[in-house]
């Protein structure tokens, strides 16, 4: 099992990595990218089981990154971890094919529930 984590904040990547371990997914391989463009590069030779992405990022935003993937017929499960918690943002995310949206600040339980929906529990 592996996961691609996309966030321009080094702090948030660190916190998500830590929360993933605390959620019991210690054997999960986590690839990191600090932008949508870098993530697209990584996806040329990696096929992760899940992509976890921020929404607001410099350059390609999280939602544009998701749209680009789906337009390219990449159907990898995709979730957002974002401070954007409005209904409108949720609706946009889900209608574009996101599996879930986790709003910051999140708990380990929030992350575990989301990961379990993709990996079927650990």
Footprint on this chain of another protein (rule: CB under 8 A):
9-12, 14-15, 56, 83-86, 88-89, 103-105, 107
Q: Which is nearer to another protein, 69 or 89 (CB)?
A: 89
CB 19 to another protein: min, Å: 12
Q: Nearest to residue 5, comparing CAs of 27, 30, 40?
A: 30
CB 10 to another protein: min, Å: 5
CB 49 to another protein: min, Å: 26
Q: Which is nearer to another protein, 29 or 83 (CB)?
A: 83
CB 109 within 8 A of CB 86: no
Q: Which residues pair with 59 in a beta bridge?
A: none
Task: Give the integer Cα–Cα distance in Å for 41 and 27.
Answer: 24
Secondary structure (DSSP) of 52-84: EE-SS-SSS-HHHHHHHHHHTT----EEEEES-
CB 109 to another protein: min, Å: 12
Q: Which is nearer to another protein, 11 or 95 (CB)?
A: 11
């Amino acid at each position: 099992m592996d996961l691609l984590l996309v966030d321009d904040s080094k702090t948030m990547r660190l916190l998500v990595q830590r929360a993933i371990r605390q959620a019991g997914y210690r054997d999960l391989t986590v690839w990191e990218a600090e932008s949508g463009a870098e993530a697209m590069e990584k996806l040329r030779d990696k096929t992760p089981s899940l992509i976890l992405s921020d929404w607001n990022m410099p350059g390609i935003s999280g939602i544009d990154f998701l749209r680009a993937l789906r337009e390219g017929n990449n159907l990898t499960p995709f979730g957002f971890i974002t401070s954007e918690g409005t209904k409108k943002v949720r609706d946009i995310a889900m209608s574009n094919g996101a599996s879930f949206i986790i709003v910051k600040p999140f708990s380990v339980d929030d992350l575990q529930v989301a990961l379990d929906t993709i990996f079927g529990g650990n």
